[in-house]
A and B are shown apart, each in its own frame.
Chain A
Amino acid sequence: MKLDDLQKIAEHEVDFQRAYKHRINVCCSSGCVPFGALKVLKAFQEAVREFGVEKECKVARTGCVGTCSVGPAVIIDPGDYLYQSVTPEKVREIVRDHIVLGLPVKDMLYHGEAFFKKQRRLVLRNAGKIDPSRIEDYIAMGGYSAIGKCLATMTPQGVIYEVSRSGLRGRGGAGFPTGQKWSLVARTHTTPKYIVANLDEGDPGVFANRTLAEADPHAIIEGMLIAAYAVGAEKGYIYIRAEYPLAIQTLQKAIAQAKGMSLLGDNVLETGFKFDLELRFGAGAFVAGEETAILASVEGRRAMPRPRPPYPANSGLWGKPTLIQNVETLANIPVIIQNGGEWFSKVGTAKCSGTKCFSLTGQINNPGLIEVPMGITLREVVYDIGGGMQDNRPFKAVLVGGPSGGCLPEALLDLPIDYDSLTKVGAIMGSGGIVVIDDQSCMVDTAKFFTDFCVEESCGKCVPCRAGLVKIKETFENITQGTGKLDDIAALDKAGQYIKEASLCGLGQTAPNPVLTTLRYFRDEYVEHIVEKKCRAGKCFRNLKKEEDDAQ
Chain B
Amino acid sequence: MLKDDNRKMMLDKVIKKFDYEASSLLEILHKAQEFYGYLDKNLMTYIANALRLPPSHVVGVATFYSFFKLKAPGEHVVTGCLGTACYVKAVDEIMTAIEQEFHLKRGGSTSDGKLSLFTTRCIGACAMAPNIIVDDEVIGKATKEVVLERVRLTLAGGGRRS
**Chain A contacts to B: CB under 8 angstroms:** 30-31, 34-35, 68-69, 71, 201-207, 210-211, 242-244, 280-286, 297-303, 359, 361-363, 367-369, 399, 402-403, 433, 435, 437, 441, 446, 449-450, 453, 456, 459
Contact = CB atoms under 8 A, between A and B. Distances in A.
A203 B64 contact: no
Report which residue of B21, B25, B27, B122 has the largest number of chain A beta carbons within 10 angstroms of its beta carbon.
B122
Given A243-B120, A437-B88, 16 more contacts: A68-B127, A69-B127, A69-B128, A202-B121, A206-B126, A243-B122, A244-B124, A283-B68, A284-B68, A285-B64, A286-B121, A297-B26, A300-B61, A301-B61, A399-B84, A435-B85
6 contacts: A34-B140, A203-B122, A205-B83, A283-B65, A284-B65, A285-B66
Contacts of B61: 300-302
Interface string B108-142: 00000000000011111111110000000110100
A34 B140 CA distance: 8
B23 A361 contact: no
B78 interface: no
B106 interface: no
A449 B89 CA distance: 13
A459 B66 CA distance: 12
Contact of A205 (B23, B29, B60, B84): B84
B64 A302 contact: yes
B84 to A, nearest CB: 3
A-B pairs with the 7 shortest C-beta distances?
A68-B127, A283-B65, A205-B84, A204-B83, A207-B124, A34-B138, A204-B122
A453 to B, nearest CB: 8
A243 to B, nearest CB: 7
A300 B120 contact: no
Report which residue of A302, A363, A437 has the largest number of chain B beta carbons within 10 angstroms of its beta carbon.
A302
A361 B85 contact: yes
A435 B89 CA distance: 11
Contacts of B129: 361, 367
B83 A280 contact: no
B127 A368 contact: yes
A205 B65 contact: no
Report which residue of B124, B137, B140 has the largest number of chain A beta carbons within 10 angstroms of its beta carbon.
B124
Given A34-B125, A205-B85, A281-B26, A243 B140 contact: no
A299 B121 CA distance: 24
Contact of B126 (A297, A359, A446, A456): A359
Nearest to B60: A302
A449 B122 CA distance: 14
Nearest to A367: B127
A483 to B, nearest CB: 21
B157 to A, nearest CB: 20
Contacts of A361: 84-85, 88, 126-127, 129
B44 interface: no
A302 B64 CA distance: 6
Nearest to B66: A284
Contacts of B88: 361-363, 435, 437, 441, 446
Contacts of B43: none
Contact of B30 (A210, A281, A402): A281
A1 B77 CA distance: 49
B70 interface: no
Nearest to A453: B121
A205 B122 contact: yes
A242 B67 contact: yes
Interface string B146-157: 000000000000
A203 B30 CA distance: 21
B22 interface: yes
B68 to A, nearest CB: 6
Contacts of B87: 204, 449
B82 interface: yes
A300 B127 contact: no
Contacts of A203: 84, 122
Contacts of B67: 242-243, 282-284
B24 interface: yes
A326 B161 CA distance: 37
A35 B140 contact: yes
Contact of A300 (B22, B68, B84, B89): B22
